[in-house]
Chains A and B, each alone.
Chain A
């Protein structure tokens, strides 16, 4: 007998996430390319901004952190869904008796993990390059919460749009065009919260709470729209529409 929908969702999400990780562990393609890219960006930031005084790096560090997340996130999402597109495997999952939401959860989860691995390089990198980033060392728990919440919000929206483009056969170039404007609100919240962290702002917990609330909203929107965007939803048929269809059918019968 079919299990209840929440049970199916949970178990299938875990299975798909495990499969994503298993494939990733096989060749580490996403992790290696994304972390490499993170290091390149860090190096470029260092060359560009190493000469800045501490008071100038203070406003710069949050921007450097979340710009890099935006860059790396775009690369990771593009590559993650390119793989699905090359073998057309996303379609196989959509046609299988799999909760569509589980596909979203698994993809968002694996992308989040890759982003977090990159952040594990990025945050210490920024902290040691710029004196203003010292706070990251001093407040590791708050920093971790900030990074996790920011990245979660990013993938919540990013996964929806990357999957939509991959499923619709859309052009890849468009992904960057869409992802940057769409993810900037969450990145902006993250920027402000990071600034609060660097400033030792006593309101930091409330800022973090607001980021969490935003993540919940974004995950909700992403989950709500995932299936309609990927396969479309059946029109809620009104009685009038059904009648029209019946009449059209009758006309078809009459015409030779």
Chain B
């Protein structure tokens, strides 16, 4: 809810680490996500991207390090914080038997039951270019790309201050990708802090204000879009993206 007093941005991770037995997933990650900015998270599969998302979304307690939301250290990501962030995971996480509208309305009603506001389902869906006649079909009949858009619609319906997107472009066609990119830019302009992971290099270059490279659980490189020289950013960003390797997901 944007009417809430202090903003939860910037979101800061400091020395965040996570391991499972001898398998280290994250080793001392420092990351800052600012309001009105899109951060692209790139890295090979298994670099720890998803774990980082889970920690930011409050679905996993890190083994070590701090999470700070708006300057306040956070132990549990409690309901009040979850009300102000949204997570679009790699899977669309929709009830396949319910229609797109029923899926969205369930979460909108859950928000309202907690006293939180939510934008009407039809509005958000139309903003993402979903045909309105598809709204009442069960999600199980949807293509992956359509389901992904419904998931994003659910995420933005609550006007989150922190928007986390793990591979949202997977299985989207070119048009879908550019619509999604447009939606993300709109969210950024609204003032959301956005963390986005993707293998789609073109779209990352287009929307991101910053790129961070995660390698074997640590952030090894970081490039920021300077105000003056877009070409320089593209060159430096290309170097980061090259480090990840070829575009193996988007096909």
Partner of A87, one of B91, B107, B111, B113: B91
* Contact (Cβ within 8 A) B82 A231: no
CA distance A237 to B61 in the complex (A): 13
Interface contact A8-B91, CB-CB below 8 Å: no
Question: Would B82 and A23 count as touching, CB distance under 8 A?
Answer: no
| Pairwise interchain contact A97-B111, C-beta atoms closer than 8 A | yes
Q: Which residue of A lies closest to B116 (CB)?
A: A97
Report whether B83 and A231 are in contact in the complex, using a CB–CB cutoff of 8 Å.
no
Q: A16-B110, A26-B97, A252-B28 are known contacts. Are A237 and B75 too (CB-CB below 8 A)? A: yes
- Rounded to whole angstroms, the CA-CA distance of A78 and B95 in the bound complex is 17
Interface residues of B in 59-102 (CB under 8 A from A): 59-61, 64-66, 74-76, 79-80, 82-83, 86-87, 89, 91-98, 102
Q: Is the interface of A mostly helix, strand, loop or mixed?
A: helix
Residues in chain B near residue A202, CB distance under 8 A: none
Query: Does A181 interact with chain B (Cβ within 8 Å)?
Result: no
* A177 on the B face (CB < 8 A): no
Contact A95 B82 (CB under 8 A): yes
A235 to B102, CA, bound (A): 37
Q: Do A15 and B110 touch across chains, with their CB atoms under 8 A apart?
A: yes
Count A/B pairs, Cβ under 8 Å.
Answer: 110
Q: Do B110 and A12 touch (CB < 8 A)?
A: yes
Q: Is B137 an interface residue (CB 8 A)?
A: no
Is the CB–CB distance between A98 and B110 below 8 Å?
Answer: yes
Minimal Cβ-Cβ distance residue in B for A13: B113
**A54 at interface (Cβ–Cβ under 8 A)?**
no
Q: Report A-chain residues with C-beta under 8 Å of the C-beta of B86.
A: 95
Q: A12: which of B91, B93, B98, B113 is its contact (CB, 8 Å)?
A: B113
Chain B residue numbers with a CB within 8 Å of A1 are: 115
Is B144 on the interface with A (CB-CB < 8 A)? Answer: no
CA distance A16 to B98 in the complex (A): 13
A72 to B152 Cα, complex, angstroms: 37
Q: Which residues of B contact A231 (CB under 8 A)?
A: 58-61
What's the Cα separation between A56 and B86 when bound, in Å? 60
Contact A22 B98 (CB under 8 A): yes
Chain A residues whose CB sits within 8 angstroms of the CB of B60 once the complex forms: 231-232
| B11 CB, nearest partner CB in chain A, Å | 15
Structural contact, A15 and B109, CB atoms closer than 8 A = yes
Please tell me if the beta carbons of B113 and A8 are within 8 angstroms of each other in the complex: yes
Q: How far does the Cβ of B203 sit from chain A's closest Cβ, in whole Å?
A: 24
In the assembled complex, the Cα of A27 lies from the Cα of B95 at a distance in Å of 13
- Does A95 lie within 8 Å of B95, measured CB to CB? no
Q: Which of A3, A26, A99, A245 contacts B66 (CB 8 A)?
A: A245
**Do the beta carbons of A89 and B82 come within 8 Å of each other?**
no
How near does chain B come to A128, taking the closest CB pair, in angstroms? Answer: 35
5 cross-chain pairs, A with B, having the tightest CB-CB distances, nearest first: A234-B75, A11-B113, A97-B83, A92-B93, A3-B115
B-contacting residues of A (Cβ < 8 Å)?
1-3, 7-8, 11-12, 15-16, 19, 22-23, 26-27, 86-89, 91-92, 94-99, 231-237, 245, 248-249, 252
Mind listing 7 A-B residue pairs with CB under 8 Å? A2-B80, A3-B113, A88-B93, A231-B58, A233-B61, A245-B15, A245-B64
- Other than the known A91-B93, A252-B15, what 14 A-B pairs have Cβ atoms closer than 8 Å? A8-B114, A12-B114, A87-B95, A91-B59, A92-B94, A92-B107, A96-B107, A97-B80, A97-B110, A231-B61, A233-B76, A234-B61, A236-B75, A252-B28
